[in-house]
Amino acid sequence: MASPTPEELERIQRANVAAVLTGAVTPAETSAAVASGVLLSVSPTVYVTHDPGAYPFRAMAQLDSTGYGGTAAVPTPHIGGLPVIFPYP
């Protein structure tokens, strides 16, 4: 999909009726636990969470072979302080 033009982005913004959220994020919200088995997508890597960390997948074929193929990953700018565990030699 092509990137929209600045004009198209302005049109979308004018048509957007969603309420803008304001306020502070509490420490409890930033330190909430992540369940095991959640897929996190931190471009370009996909991780699966498992207590106590995040395990990176090396290839899409590995995602498929472990049963996660077709599962939606949560796009996130970072892994939220989870230790990245590299179980590969």
Look up tokens 């699966």; give the residue.
48
What is the C-alpha to C-alpha distance for residues 8 and 35, in angstroms, rounded to an integer? 38
Predicted confidence at residue 89, as pLDDT, reads 56
Closest CA to 63 of 84, 41, 46: 46
Write the pLDDT tens digit of every residue in 44-60: 899 999 888 899 998 88
- Taking alpha carbons only, the member of 51, 32, 54 closest to residue 42 is 54
Confidence of residue 1 (pLDDT cuts 50, 70, 90): low
Helix (H) or strand (E) holding 61: helix 60-65
What average pLDDT does the structure give for the chain? 84
**Residue 76 to residue 66: CA distance in whole angstroms:** 22
